[in-house]
Amino acid sequence: MIYIYYSYLSKENHESLLKNDLPKFPVDYQEKIKRYRRWQDAQLSLLGRIILFKGIEEIYKHNPYDKVIKHTKYSKPYFDNDLIRFNISHSGDIVVCALSDKHEIGIDVEIVTDIEINEFEEQMIKNEWNRIVLSNNIKDSFFDYWTQKEAVIKAHGHGLSIPLKSFEILDNTTKIDEEKYYLKEIKIDKKYKCYISLKTDVTEISIKKYNINPII
């Protein structure tokens, strides 16, 4: 089973998050959050960690606050000596977190906006680009591919050291170094594209919206 948690930014709840949730985390992380100039950037980072730890509490019945998040040399976060794999992404006003105790996983979410799509042609394989420009909805098609590619490189673990143009997405699968990766769309919000990627074709997915300190 793959578990996905998501949450939205809330300006009204920001001070409450800083007061009640931030102190639960290590001091160095607290200082990092306080250095953000924009409350939105601070909250996106903090919400990612909150929903990750809430997921661990609910799903695996572990105390996550005794766990230390480390990073590989490619900046992928992980828990040392722990079977729980996770990945976090955010865009616009939404944060998503995917968890698994069996598979390395990548997740990416992107808000669908008006951008100069032609500027990204060099990031796509020719066949992918042709499918994008010939599609009925060029913007939707572009963001599908972009989000899929980002999810794959996050599942692989080497991040942007892998050129997006070095592998082709075809029928929700791709290969990197002869390893096959599967993709599945996660439909959370019509304004966003979201995909997960794994090395196995997993169909069982639980999606939960998490309301942080809702205002009553």
Residue closest to 45 by CA, chosen among 18, 71, 64, 63? 18
Query: Could you list the mean pLDDT of each consecutive 10-residue stretch along the chain, which spans 216 residues?
Result: 96 93 94 96 96 94 87 89 91 97 94 94 94 96 97 92 93 94 96 96 89 61
Give the model's pLDDT for residue 214: 53
Residue 17 CA from chain centroid, whole number = 21
CB contact set of 15 (below 8 Å; sequence gap of 6+)? none
First to last CA, the chain: 33
Strands 2-8 and 205-209: parallel
E-assigned strand segments in 68-138: 69-71, 77-79, 85-91, 94-100, 106-111
3 state DSSP class of 210: coil
pTM to 2 decimals?
A: 0.94
pLDDT at position 203: 74
Which pLDDT does position 213 carry in this prediction? 62
Q: Is residue 143 within 8 Å of 118, Cβ to Cβ? A: no
- The pLDDT of residue 191 is 97
Minimal CA–CA distance to 167: which of 136, 127, 135, 134? 127
Q: Are 141 and 135 in contact (CB under 8 A)?
A: yes
Q: Classify residue 11 by its DSSP letter.
A: S
**In this structure, CATH architecture of domain 2-209:** Alpha-Beta Complex (3.90)
